[in-house]
Amino acid sequence: MIEVRVQSLGLDKSSNTPVVILQEVDGERVLPIWIGPGEASAIAMELAGMKFSRPLTHDLLASVISGLGARLVRVLITKVMENTYYAELIVERKGQLISVDARPSDSIAIALRMGARILTTDALLEQNAVDVQEAGDMGDPDQFGVDPDDQTEDAEQAGLRAEELKEYLRRLDPEDFGRFNP
- What average pLDDT does the chain have? 79
Residue 162 scores a pLDDT above 50: no
pLDDT of residue 146: 32
Q: Is the pTM of this model over 0.75?
A: no
Number of domains the chain is built from: 1
Domain with residue 81: its CATH number is: 3.10.690.10
Least confident interval from 30-34, 155-159, 174-178:
155-159
Residue 10 scores a pLDDT above 70: yes
pLDDT (tens digit per residue) in 75-127: 999 999 998 999 999 999 999 999 999 999 999 999 999 999 999 999 888 88
In which domain, by residue range, is 164 found?
2-179
pLDDT-based confidence at residue 62 (cuts at 50, 70, 90): very high
Percent of the chain scored above 70 by pLDDT? 70
Classify each residue of 31-45 as buried b or exposed e, where b means 16 or more C-beta atoms within 10 Å of its C-beta. bbbbbeebbbbbbbb
E-assigned strands of 28-140? 29-34, 70-81, 84-93, 96-102, 117-120, 130-131
